[in-house]
Structure 1
């Protein structure tokens, strides 16, 4: 389906991104969830291009989400090489899952109107 020449909700792998909400926040949540439940294994390479095709979004929200994941220690960004899922302990999984909503806090630099 298109509207004003833009593809709406037509990602490659069945993930629907709600364009009324922050795309970067949604992508962050989806990737974080996959890291936390080990769908994305430690050491896995994350390609901006592949993720943008998978989620049906541009690379800008992918970059924003990957930067936030790097701040949380869930991915490592190696310049000129790539982005990789970090190795995390079960204690860190518990710590991060109990404080997962903190990234939506205003001090994280995201406007309040983009959070839900």
Structure 2
């Protein structure tokens, strides 16, 4: 179950990060807080891409590399990011990340 939780978190974060980046990149005369959030989300997106690659190729990784990962710590960290990104998504007005494509997050399409 842990691998499913980690995979779901990474997939969700990879889905919402580019939307946040795109939205914040379009803000003209953004206050420093918005610029800082954009920088952080961009950096995290790169990390999530690397983590996704690691998870997808996990079976191929050598034992030494696998043993460096503490699953519980990773789950706690990813849970924190999922919560933070969810709050950011809510603050930015939903961004249409609920998967319905119409931007209102109601799932109705």
TM over 0.5: no
**Given the two structures, how large is their TM-score scaled by the length of structure 1?**
0.27
- Greater relative contact order: 1 or 2 (C-alpha under 8 angstroms, separation 6 or more)? 2
**Given the two structures, how large is their TM-score scaled by the length of structure 2?**
0.28
Structure with more helix by fraction:
2
